[in-house]
Amino acid sequence: MLPANLFTIAIWVLLKESCEGTVKSKYLDLIGLVERLHRQCLEVIKADLDRQGIRDLNNVQALILFNVGEEELSIGELTQRGYYLGSNVSYNVKKMVENGYLIQERSPHDRRSFHVRPSEKGLAVYRGLSALFDQHASHLAESQLTEDGLDAANHALRRVQQFWSTPASLARDLSAA
């Protein structure tokens, strides 16, 4: 039988190791969940586009239109505003200009830069998605997801984003190797 203080130390070491595994497991679960949520959001947008009979716009392009909103943005501003996994924003903007969802103009101040703004057709998609998200927000309370719960989730995700944005968190500790 271990003396009390050694027993306590052994329990503490076991708990520490199990907590580290738990943190890693929860961290990996969070990464997977974020990816699945993004994909599911895109599927919801795709279903709404299909319901409206919109065939010349994909879900990523619709999300780009939503992020443009009613504003005029440079391509750089648009890229910073949203996270369009696996997509090329310039290509999508070009297709939306060709299909009449966006109007693209050269910047009056910098001829190398372009700005985009929604056309009437693009505004209709923006307003449709905004109404869809309004409907979702009103149904969240029914699903036991409160404003406080959303605040807590947003806070946790922003902390992870901040962690990933810190260069030190991305570097491996090679001194132990």
Residue 18: predicted pLDDT: 56
- Cα–chain-centroid distance for residue 39? 10
Percent of residues, the chain, with pLDDT higher than 70: 80
Amino acid letter, 159: R
Only one residue has tokens 């974020």, namely: 34
Q: How far apart are CA 142 and CA 136, in angstroms?
A: 10
Q: How far apart are CA 41 and CA 127, in angstroms?
A: 17
* pLDDT 10s digits, 124-155: 999 999 999 999 999 987 888 889 999 999 99
Query: Which three-class secondary structure state does DSSP give residue 177?
Result: coil
Whether 19 has a pLDDT exceeding 80, the answer reads no
Q: Among residues 130, 131, 107, which one has the least CA distance to residue 117? A: 107
Only one residue has tokens 């903007």, namely: 93
The whole-chain average pLDDT of the chain stands at 84
Residue 174: predicted pLDDT: 46
* pLDDT 10s digits, 29-38: 999 999 899 8
Whether 95 has a pLDDT exceeding 90, the answer reads yes
Tell me if 117 sits within 8 A of 74, measured CB to CB.
no
Q: How far apart are CA 23 and CA 16, in angstroms?
A: 10
